[in-house]
C-alpha cells in the first residue's frame, strides 16, 4: 500500500461522487420517511387495543431481530415471487424504510413512556383529546425528548445503506468495491469510503446538535 | 329545618354540584360519598391532611378520574354521563373540560410551547376562537399575572412562581366557569408562594368561582367563602372560615387546627 493507490482511487472521482450522492440521497429520503412512519406507528404501539399494539409490536420485534442484510435479500428475492417488479434502487430504499421505521417507532415509544404524565393530563384537562392531543402535545414532547436518539438512528441508516451494494445499488460502498476490484487496491479504496462515511456522519452529528439545542430549551 | 329565605338554594345559581362521589383505587377507598356545591363567585377551600382525597376529588370534578358512584353537574349539566345513561365519549368530555380551568401542583405547563403559546393553546385549538383576539387577551392576562415581559420565553427558563402564574393565566384564557386549583403553591419555594397567592386573591376579589385545594391556612381564612375539611375521603366539616377557624364543630376539625397551630 502506498500513496499512489489513493491517487488511483481518487482519479475515479466522477464515479465516487455519483456513489456518494446516491448514498446521501438514500439517507435523506429513507431517514425522513422512516421518521415519519415511526411517528405514525408509535401511537399504534401505545394503543389500548391489543390487536393493534400486538401486531405493530410484533413487526418491530421482527425488524429488531432480523439482520438488515437478510431483510434486503428477502425483499429482493421475495417481491418478484409475488409478481412485484421494482428497480434495485427502489427495493433497497423500501428495505431501509421497513427496517428503520420500526427502530424509529421503538425510539419514540421509549420517549413517550418517559414524558411526565401531568403534561399530557393538562392537555386533557384543557379540552384536547384524540389526534389533536397527540399532534399538539404528545408528539412534540416526544420528539424534543428523542432528538439525540433520532440522530443516532440516522447514522445507523447511513451504515445500513452500505449493504445495498449486494443488490447492485451503486451507492458509495458498491462504487468503492468496484474500484478496488478493478485496480486491486482494496485498502486505499475502502479507507477512502470510510473517510467519506465519516464526513457524512459529522454532518448528521452537526444537525443533531442543532436540533438538540433547539429541543433542550423546549423540554422540561 | 332552616329558614328557607336564609339559604339561596336555587339550583340555577349552582355552578358546580357534586353529589355522593365515591372513588376507589383497588381496595383503597379514596373518596366516600362526598357532596358539595358551589354558587357563582364562591371560593371554596378544601383542607385536610395529605392523602385525604382532596386532589382526587378535584380530578373527579373534571373527570380526569372517573368516579365509581355519584354525579357531577356543571351549570346543571351532568358531567361524564349522557341523559340516557350512556358514558360520554372523549370529545364530549373534552368539551365539558374546556369550561373548567385547572391549575396543577407541578404546573404541568407544556414545555415545547412558549409562555404565550401555553396560554393560547386551548382557546385557539379547542375553543376555535380568533387567533388575533386570543393573542391580545393572552397578553392582557400575562400583564395581569405580572409576566408581560416573559411572553416568548419557554417554561424551562421560568422560576416556579412564574410557572404557576403562567399556569393560572392559561386556565383563565379559556374563560372557564370555574377554576380548580390543586395545591397550587405546594411545589413552590416558600419565597415564591406569596406571588401566586396574591394573583389568586385578586381573582377571588373579581368574583371568580374557585375550588382551591390548599395547605395555606391564612389564605383560606382570608379568601374562602366556605371551607370544607376532608379526612380519609370524607367531608368532615363545612363552614364559613370565620366559624371554622375560631369555633370548629367537629373533633377532627379541632384536631386538624391544633396540629396546624402547633406546627406554627
* Whether the predicted model's global pTM rises above the 0.80 cut: yes
Average pLDDT over residues A191-219: 96
Whether residue A135 lies within 8 A of chain B, CB to CB, comes out as: no
List of residues 6+ apart from B212 with CB closer than 8 A: B43, B44, B45, B46, B181, B184, B200, B219, B220, B223, B224
Q: Is residue A123 part of a domain?
A: yes
Which pLDDT tens digit goes with each residue over B106-125?
Answer: 999 999 999 999 999 999 99
Residue B207, phi then psi, degrees to nearest 5: 95, 20
List of residues 6+ apart from B92 with CB closer than 8 A: B82
pLDDT at B4: 41
> Does residue B1 carry a pLDDT above 60?
no
Q: Is residue A1 part of a domain?
A: no
pLDDT at B3: 42
Residue A73: band (very low, low, confident or very high) from pLDDT cuts 50, 70, 90: very high
Mutate to test the interface with A, among B58, B90, B94, B155 (most CBs of A within 10 A): B94
CA distance B62 to B230: 19
How far does A6 lie from chain B, in Å, by closest CA?
49
Lowest mean pLDDT among B3-7, B29-33, B107-111, B253-257: B3-7
DSSP single-letter state for residue B78: E
pLDDT at B205: 95
Q: Is residue A200 part of a domain?
A: yes
Residue A1: band (very low, low, confident or very high) from pLDDT cuts 50, 70, 90: low
The arrangement of strands across the sheet holding B226-231 comes to: B100-103, B178-182, B210-213, B43-47, B226-231, B234-239
Q: Is residue A85 part of a domain?
A: yes
Residue B12: band (very low, low, confident or very high) from pLDDT cuts 50, 70, 90: low
Average pLDDT over residues B96-115: 96
> Does residue B6 carry a pLDDT above 50?
no
Which pLDDT tens digit goes with each residue over B33-77?
Answer: 999 999 999 999 999 998 899 999 999 999 999 999 999 999 989
Three cell numbers at A150?
433520532
Q: Using a CB-CB distance cutoff of 8 angstroms, which residues of chain B are in contact with residue A124? A: 64, 94, 97
Query: What Rg value do the Cα atoms of chain A yield, rounded?
Result: 21
pLDDT at B175: 95
The domain in which residue A146 lies consists of 14-217
The ipTM (two decimal places) reads 0.90
Whether residue B128 lies within 8 A of chain A, CB to CB, comes out as: no
**Is the CB of B112 less than 8 angstroms away from the CB of A130?**
no
Whether residue A218 lies within 8 A of chain B, CB to CB, comes out as: yes
Whether residue A96 contacts residue A34, with contact meaning beta carbons closer than 8 Å, is answered with: yes
Q: What is the mean pLDDT of chain B?
A: 92
Q: Is residue A90 part of a domain?
A: yes
Which pLDDT tens digit goes with each residue over B183-207?
Answer: 999 999 988 999 999 999 999 999 9
Q: Is residue A84 part of a domain?
A: yes
> Does residue B264 carry a pLDDT above 80?
no
Q: Is residue A45 part of a domain?
A: yes
In chain A, the number of structural domains is 1
Q: Is residue A82 part of a domain?
A: yes
Give the burial class of B9: count Cβ atoms within 10 A of its Cβ; 0-12 exposed, 13-18 middle, 19 or more buried. Answer: exposed
pLDDT at B261: 84
Q: Using a CB-CB distance cutoff of 8 angstroms, which residues of chain B are in contact with residue A127? A: 94-95, 97-98, 122, 126-127, 174
Average pLDDT over residues A126-144: 96
Which 140-159 residues of chain B touch chain A by CB within 8 A? Answer: 154-157
Q: Render A91-105 in DSSP notation, one character per residue.
A: HHHHHHHHHHHHHHH
Which 216-245 residues of chain B touch chain A by CB within 8 A? Answer: none
Question: Domain with A34 in it: what CATH number?
Answer: 1.10.3720.10
Amino acid at each position: 500500500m502506498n500513496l499512489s493507490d489513493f491517487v488511483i482511487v481518487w482519479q475515479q472521482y466522477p464515479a465516487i461522487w455519483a456513489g456518494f450522492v446516491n448514498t446521501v440521497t438514500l439517507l435523506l429520503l429513507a431517514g425522513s420517511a422512516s421518521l415519519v412512519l415511526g411517528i405514525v406507528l408509535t401511537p399504534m404501539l401505545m394503543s389500548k387495543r391489543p390487536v393493534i399494539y400486538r401486531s405493530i409490536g410484533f413487526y418491530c420485534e421482527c425488524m429488531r431481530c432480523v439482520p438488515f442484510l437478510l431483510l434486503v435479500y428477502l425483499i429482493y428475492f421475495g417481491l418478484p415471487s409475488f409478481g412485484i417488479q421494482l428497480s434495485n434502487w427502489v427495493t433497497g430504499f423500501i428495505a431501509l424504510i421497513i427496517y428503520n421505521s420500526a427502530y424509529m417507532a421503538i425510539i419514540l415509544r421509549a420517549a413517550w413512556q418517559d414524558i411526565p404524565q401531568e403534561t399530557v393530563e393538562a392537555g386533557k384537562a384543557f379540552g384536547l383529546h384524540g389526534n389533536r392531543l397527540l399532534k399538539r402535545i404528545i408528539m412534540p414532547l416526544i420528539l424534543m425528548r428523542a432528538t439525540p436518539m433520532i440522530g443516532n438512528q440516522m447514522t445507523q441508516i447511513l451504515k445500513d445503506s452500505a449493504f445495498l451494494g449486494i443488490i447492485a445499488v451503486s451507492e458509495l460502498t458498491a462504487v468503492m468495491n468496484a474500484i478496488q476490484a478493478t485496480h486491486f487496491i482494496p485498502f486505499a479504496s475502502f479507507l477512502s469510503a470510510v473517510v467519506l462515511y465519516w464526513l457524512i456522519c459529522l454532518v448528521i452529528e452537526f444537525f443533531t446538535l442543532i436540533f438538540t439545542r433547539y429541543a433542550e430549551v423546549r423540554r422540561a | 329545618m332552616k329558614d328557607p329565605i336564609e339559604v339561596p338554594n336555587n339550583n340555577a345559581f349552582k355552578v358546580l354540584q357534586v353529589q355522593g362521589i365515591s372513588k376507589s383505587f383497588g381496595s383503597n377507598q379514596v373518596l366516600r360519598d362526598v357532596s358539595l356545591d358551589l354558587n357563582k363567585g364562591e371560593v371554596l377551600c378544601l383542607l385536610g391532611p395529605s392523602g385525604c382525597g382532596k386532589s382526587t376529588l378535584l380530578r373527579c370534578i373534571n373527570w380526569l378520574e372517573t368516579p365509581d358512584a355519584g354525579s357531577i353537574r356543571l351549570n346543571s349539566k351532568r358531567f361524564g354521563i349522557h341523559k340516557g345513561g350512556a358514558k360520554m365519549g372523549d370529545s364530549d368530555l373534552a368539551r365539558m373540560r374546556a369550561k373548567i380551568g385547572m391549575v396543577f401542583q407541578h404546573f404541568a405547563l407544556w414545555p415545547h410551547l412558549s409562555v404565550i403559546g401555553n396560554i393560547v393553546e386551548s382557546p385557539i385549538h379547542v375553543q376555535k376562537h380568533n387567533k388575533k383576539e386570543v393573542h391580545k387577551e393572552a397578553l392582557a392576562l400575562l400583564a395581569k399575572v405580572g409576566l408581560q415581559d416573559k411572553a416568548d420565553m419557554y417554561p424551562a427558563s421560568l422560576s416556579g412562581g412564574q410557572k404557576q402564574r403562567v399556569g393560572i393565566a392559561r386556565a383563565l384564557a379559556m374563560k372557564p366557569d370555574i377554576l380548580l386549583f390543586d395545591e397550587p403553591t405546594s411545589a413552590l419555594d416558600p419565597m415564591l408562594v406569596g406571588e401566586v397567592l396574591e394573583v389568586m386573591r385578586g381573582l377571588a376579589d373579581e368574583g371568580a368561582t374557585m375550588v382551591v385545594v390548599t395547605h395555606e391556612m391564612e389564605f383560606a381564612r382570608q379568601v374562602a367563602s366556605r371551607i370544607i375539611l376532608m379526612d380519609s375521603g370524607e367531608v368532615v366539616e363545612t363552614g364559613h372560615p370565620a366559624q371554622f377557624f375560631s369555633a370548629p364543630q367537629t373533633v377532627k376539625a379541632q384536631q386538624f387546627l391544633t396540629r396546624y397551630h402547633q406546627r406554627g
